[in-house]
Structure 1
Amino acid sequence: MTAIASDIITALNNRLELCELKNAELKSNKLPVDIEKFVEDLQGVCYENDTLIKRCKYFVYNREKELNFAYYEALKKKVSLLLEQQYCFKTKLEKLGHDTNYKFADFYNDITFDLIDFSNPDKFSSNQKQSDEFNNFVDFASISTDLQTLPKVQSKTIEIANHTAPSEIEETHPPHHPNLWNKPCYELFKYLFDNYYNNKTKRKLTNIWFFLKEKQSKTYIFLATKDMYVDFLKVNYNISITNFDKAINKYDDKDLPSLNGHCINFENN
């Protein structure tokens, strides 16, 4: 293992220790005496975490050859733990914003988690395949830990500032994520979720996965693996899938015709 590889792991360990200490401070339900300083300090921690994760991306990209399996898995594990710490900080900020009626909205809105954007250096990577896999891992881990829901704070702040009532119909689905599907495929998923599944049996949710997998075309690009789909449902809808088996006879005779019918309605709308 090279010195720089050891440095990356050491830096991640140090950040995780610091985050654990910071999270210990956050366990108190009492409002900080100096809220502005508290939020600014937490923003600094989040920014440094973000910077370190991007440093990990560049490290993998700049390798002359693939990292060995044990080290690479350790790297992904520690980055995943750091993303979980970011999620804890985000949750605390949302609660703090609620408790103070979003009085310090400008501070909350300045907190950003810009982990998905990654500009590759101009030079060609000798480790492109592993680099792309690692970038996709971080992108999906960011979604899985719900970091991208932070704009909810801003939308609530605007709502309070304008003294407007919440919309009668709120968007129940998360933003589109290109690592799972293209936009037309995601729109079809949302339609099937609302009209075919409609809070019925979980088997209908697994049927949707099989249907989208079989429906793949130039129009509907579906990328989510079973594990990615299960994580997506758990994170965004709090739905746990434990059985992914397809009831073949029932699926072909009953479920598939129903799904095709809903798909026709979707495409005709």
Structure 2
Amino acid sequence: MTQKTTVVDIKARKKTGPPITMLTSYDYPWALLVDRGGIDMILVGDSLGMVVLGYPDTISVTMEEMIHHVKAVSRVVKSALVVADMPFGSYNVSVEKAVENANRMMKEGRADCIKLEGGRSMAPVAEAIVRSGTPVQGHIGLTPQTASALGGFKVQGKSAEAARALIDDAKALEAAGCFSVVLEAIPAPIARMVTEAVEIPTIGIGAGVHCDGQVMVIHDMVGLFDRFTPKFVKQYARISDTITSAISAYADDVKNRRFPGEEHSFTMKTDELDKMDKNQ
């Protein structure tokens, strides 16, 4: 029987290793492949707004859309820890609303835990959600939902003052009860300092090799999203090219009556077919 990964397992990896693996998935077929691939955590990220739903940003994603996709992922995952992103507006309105929506992610979406963006300012929210019984993963550095307030999609923590603030943010989330924290778009030396400053695992995305784990958007990793490619993305495949070639080949076969062939078609007994001919 497959062993289900828990938040306790993830926290223990800070000391025991090896580094934690995390990838996004947004539906049944992708989650099936990622889980089979042995990934420790699957993030149903609000990045689905851009890579799946075609929105121009992540803030357009709703709770209903997130729950819909979290449910699809949770139905198939047997091993990985399923992390559900809290969309913009679902947790930064009030503590009560945040707890209510986190409970929905767990009850309706069947997530194993939730993730929210923000450091010290969001620590009280994270703490309240943890107290309600829902495990929380933090997210600091570049926080896409509030990128406009940060001056756009830019590397964070590049000054000594900003770097110290990131360390304080991570410590505040740890004190709030978060079991791990994502570090996005942070200079590698600062990410290492943050990692050493807290006792919970850090999961890097554009934060260097010294984090306790790494996460990527799977559509970026396999070359399915082509609107832009962040500097910190390593493409392990370009399956969009393979899929496009397959679609073109299919269209060409149909137009030239090469598909369907006999091997793709159904037949009937000759005597039954003869009866049809006589009745015409």
TM-score by shorter chain over 0.5: no
TM range (shorter): under 0.3
Larger RCO: 1 or 2 (CA < 8 Å, sep 6+): 1
TM-score normalised according to structure 1 size: 0.26
TM-score normalised according to structure 2 size: 0.25
Give the structure with the higher percent helix. Answer: 1
